[in-house]
């Protein structure tokens, strides 16, 4: 039967178009997945590069800079100085109450070595500070080539910060194994450490690019 207007009782219903928000959701999800894939690939590359970074067989530089954060870093720097790989050693980021005598005993090095050739920086509190203090130290001594000693996971970021602080100084990376190859590498704490360092490394690269 037709209604008074002449229209048929039977109406054709077209399928509803999917809401626009569904399309936006799919697009957003795709972007998130892509970002995650890039992040995972970037972290894998960062981790591999850091772990495969090898120490030079022989080093001859003007100065050595050790970034504190582990006794093995300081010991490695002192050993290089004992081998006459450089004229002086700067240990950057030393706890204010720590003395040269304590470090000498810890590294089993001659006290005279610390007296003549080791400088302690007790002002730096992070990697950017380390780089700034090292740049000033290198400038005072007119050093043009430095060995940078720090843990493997920290070396890429340290190199970025040091290059930014002293672009005219040649840097030689001397990585110290982080000691997580004994079965603890899969621990949550270690994973967090590497992830944190990766994020800081990316931020350092951004600062380098924008010159801040």
Residue 95 three-state SS: coil
Q: What is the pLDDT of residue 70?
A: 84
What Cα–Cα distance (Å) separates residue 168 from each residue in 79, 157, 163, 165, 208? 26, 18, 8, 9, 15
Q: What is the pLDDT of residue 110?
A: 94
Q: What is the pLDDT of residue 8?
A: 47
Sites in the chain below the pLDDT cut of 70: 1-24, 28, 30-32, 35, 179-186, 212
Q: What is the pLDDT of residue 22?
A: 65
**Could you report the per-residue pLDDT of 59-80, keeping only the tens digit for each?**
999 999 999 988 899 999 999 9
The superfamily CATH assigns to domain 52-177+187-210 is HUPs (3.40.50.620)
């Amino acid at each position: 039967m037709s209604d008074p207007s002449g229209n048929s009782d039977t109406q054709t219903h077209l399928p509803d178009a999917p809401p626009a928000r569904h399309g936006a959701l799919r697009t957003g999800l795709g972007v998130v997945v892509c970002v995650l894939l890039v992040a995972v690939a970037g972290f894998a590359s960062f981790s591999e590069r850091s772990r495969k970074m090898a120490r030079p067989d022989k080093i001859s530089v003007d100065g050595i800079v050790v970034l504190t954060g582990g006794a093995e870093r300081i010991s490695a720097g002192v050993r290089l100085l004992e081998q006459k790989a450089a004229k002086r050693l700067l240990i950057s980021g030393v706890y204010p109450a720590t003395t040269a005598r304590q470090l000498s005993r810890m590294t089993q090095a001659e006290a005279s070595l610390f007296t003549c050739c080791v400088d302690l920086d007790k002002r730096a509190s992070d990697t950017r500070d380390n780089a700034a203090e090292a740049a000033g130290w290198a400038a005072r001594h007119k050093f043009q080539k430095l060995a940078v000693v720090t843990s493997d996971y920290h070396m890429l970021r340290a190199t970025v910060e040091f290059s930014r602080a002293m672009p005219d100084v040649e840097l030689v990376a001397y990585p110290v194994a982080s000691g997580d190859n004994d079965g603890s590498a899969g621990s949550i704490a270690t994973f967090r450490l590497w992830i944190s360092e990766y994020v800081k490394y990316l931020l350092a690269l951004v600062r380098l690019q924008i010159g801040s």
